[in-house]
Amino acid sequence: MGLFPMNTGNSRQQIIPPTRLRVKAGFVVYSPDSGNRELVILDEGELVAVDKSHDNREIKFRMHAGDIVGVASLFENEPFRYTLEATEDSSVTIISEDCLESELKNIPIWLLATLKNLSQNTRLLKESAHRTPVENTLMSLAEYCAHLESGVKYPVDTLIREFNWLTRIPPVTIKADLKSLLRRRFIGLSKNGEELLIQVHNATLMQIFSDYLYAREEGLVWEPLRLSLPQKRILVHLTTIKKGVEMEAPEWIRLLNERELPIDVAQWITLQDLGCFKQGLSNKFHVDMERIEYYLTAIRYDSNLRGAV
């Protein structure tokens, strides 16, 4: 945009003076039909901003001495939509685009940059309000799908509309992310007549995928990767333990060692940190089967998670 001039550093460039008007009551100071971008400063009297876009003439606001309008129109390219009319005899100063530009040519570069930054930031903030706040759209979709029921067929169109309403991610991006989930074999597509249906094979796996992407995004260690081969063997073995068995830590260590699954105190602490054991009453621990299934599923579908299928 041409409003912010290249600053030449010449402070003696000619200033184009503003236009000063003395107007009678009823005079139209500014009309949106003119297409002009200008600042209107009321020095004396009163002006009204009138919305004439509808059949009714609606007064939007009144301007009093010292008020200024048109800044957003000049700096932020936001058209001023109202007609400005004098309600009494008034004095106004009009700063045209050329006048402002000449003034801006005579200010130091840091002040120009400040003005430019303020106007740019406002524009970006306004744009952000209409955009999706989501940065990692695939992670967001995985989280959404983790809350769908495994094996249930959902119409793709409704799913896209609901997800778009929740996150404002554009449908075209949602479709691309659904393809990504399809490539990883996390979801399946089918048809019922003309209707396209989608089904999440395993909602837990979707949750794992969401957690995996989150860990990657935040630079965190992906917990299933912390498991060594002997620890993985221990997890598989723990799935065979009867539900409700509770023992103190030394007993668990002894039991696993007896079953030729060598484990020392450090490894026990790691498993505990990972949530594989839950502390019950007193010092006794029981296996958290849900957590172990989570890790084993993550390990089993490692290549799907990485997108290497």
Partner 1 sequence: MFVKEGEYLFLEGDKGTSLVIVKSGMLVGMSKQLRQRHWRNFGPGSIIGEFSLLESKPREYTLRAAENSEVLFIEQKALQRELEHKPGWFQSTLSFLANHCHIAEENLKKSKIVQALPALLFLFSKHLVASGSDNIALATLQKKMLVLNNTEFSETERLLQLLEEFDILKIEGETIRVPNLQIIPLLYEALRYRALNKQVSPDILSITEQLVLTAFVKAVKENGISIRGNKATVPTEMLKAEAKKAMHGGTLTRRIIAPLTASGILEASPASGQSPVLDDTDSFTADFYHVIDLLELNRIFPLLDKKLV
Site residues for partner 1 per CB under 8 A: 18, 39, 41, 66, 68, 71-72, 75-76, 93, 95, 103, 107-108, 110-111, 113-115, 117-119, 121-122, 125-126, 128-129, 133-136, 139-140, 143-144, 147, 158, 161-162, 165-168, 210, 214, 217-219
Nearer to partner 1, 41 or 235 (CB): 41
CB of 251 to partner 1, least distance (A): 30
CB of 270 to partner 1, least distance (A): 22
CB of 297 to partner 1, least distance (A): 17
CB of 257 to partner 1, least distance (A): 35
CB of 132 to partner 1, least distance (A): 8
Nearer to partner 1, 51 or 76 (CB): 76
Torsion of CA 106, 14, 11, 6, to 10 degrees: 50
Nearer to partner 1, 50 or 107 (CB): 107
Q: Which long-range contacts (CB under 8 A, 24 or more apart) does 295-303 make?
A: 295/223, 295/224, 295/227, 295/235, 296/235, 296/236, 296/239, 297/202, 297/204, 297/205, 297/208, 298/208, 298/212, 298/224, 299/224, 299/227, 299/232, 301/205, 301/208, 302/224
Instruction: Tell me how far apart the terminal alpha carbons of the chain are, to the nearest angstrom.
Output: 48
Nearer to partner 1, 90 or 119 (CB): 119
Nearer to partner 1, 178 or 235 (CB): 178
Q: Which residues of 37-72 are buried (b: 16+ CB within 10 A; e: fewer)?
A: bbbbbbeebbbbbbeeeeeeeeeeeebeeeeebbee
